[in-house]
Amino acid sequence: MEVERGIHGTWEHIAPQINKQITAIQNDDTKTKITESCIAEIQKNKSFIDLLSEINISEIGIHGEIEKILRKDPVVSLPIDYIPNDLEEWADNLKIKVEIQLVEKFSDKDGNVLFNMPDLELKTSDEKFEKELKDISDKKPENLLELVVKAGFLREGEKVYMEYGPKGTKKKRFEGIVHINGIEVNGVIASPSISSLRCIQEVSPTRTTNNGWVTWKTMDGKVINDKWEKYKQTIIQ
């Protein structure tokens, strides 16, 4: 991640800075140091180990998982206050993925400040489904749940539930209601992933991501991802 200001200029500062970081992360010595630092931080905080165990990563398997991540191509995350004209052109010419995130600042006459920031952590859970839809259909994947509901695999007003609790504790049950534009929990409608994350944060406030498609279940105990899979089959056929 490289936090930048647009005034620094693409070629004067931003591109050279990021190119140095890309070169560094592709160095084997750097990868070794990152792996060692990650393991040291995880071992200092038991909550990290508990969180990893929830997604079936054992303490002995942490080293291998980190190495697996570092073998993948890096992704550049670039929060910036405005986007210079040539920044996107430069990003498109890189061989690795660059995510440019516009961070907007608003203030009023009383000195109150509000920042508008893209919530990437909460939207990445749906990226896999969006790519699948793009691969098999010309439909625009703006609201995946809407497609599933309109196809009749989920009903508006249908109840769904999820259960969550840290390892070794009793799981708390949450219930939601399916709408065409999201799942309603406590009067608030949001995407499956965001609504499930908000439930999880009632128990584990530090949790920042969750895939609601494999968390929410219909009352027969099946995850709503099963409904997505059935919807895909109707397009393929």
Q: What are 135-185's pLDDT values in tens digits?
A: 555 444 447 888 899 999 999 999 999 999 877 788 999 999 999 989 999
Q: Are 39 and 57 in contact (CB under 8 A)?
A: no
Q: Are 145 and 180 in contact (CB under 8 A)?
A: yes
Provide the pLDDT for residue 237.
57
3-class secondary-structure state, position 28: helix
Provide the pLDDT for residue 42.
87
Confidence check: pLDDT of 120 > 60: no
In this predicted model, which residue has the larger pLDDT, 63 or 45? 63
Instruction: Give the separation between CA 94 and CA 3, rounded to whole angstroms.
Output: 18
First to last CA, the chain: 42
Provide the pLDDT for residue 29.
92
Provide the pLDDT for residue 45.
81
Which of 208, 188, 184 is closest to 197 using CA atoms?
A: 208
Provide the pLDDT for residue 13.
92
pTM: 0.51
Q: Are 223 and 153 in contact (CB under 8 A)?
A: no
Q: Which residues contact 155 (CB under 8 A, 6 or more apart)?
A: 149, 178
Provide the pLDDT for residue 127.
58
| Mean pLDDT of the region 11-26 | 90
Confidence check: pLDDT of 132 > 60: no
Enter the tokens of residue 121.
Answer: 């952590």
Task: Give the tens place of pLDDT for each residue, 38-60.
Answer: 999 888 887 777 777 767 788 88
| Mean pLDDT of the region 177-195 | 91
Confidence check: pLDDT of 128 > 60: no
Provide the pLDDT for residue 121.
45
Provide the pLDDT for residue 137.
52
| Mean pLDDT of the region 18-45 | 90
> For residue 92, what pLDDT band results from cuts at 50, 70 and 90?
confident
Provide the pLDDT for residue 48.
79
Provide the pLDDT for residue 130.
58
| Mean pLDDT of the region 58-83 | 88
Confidence check: pLDDT of 124 > 50: no
Q: Of 44-53, 116-125, 178-187, 190-199, which gets the smallest average pLDDT?
A: 116-125
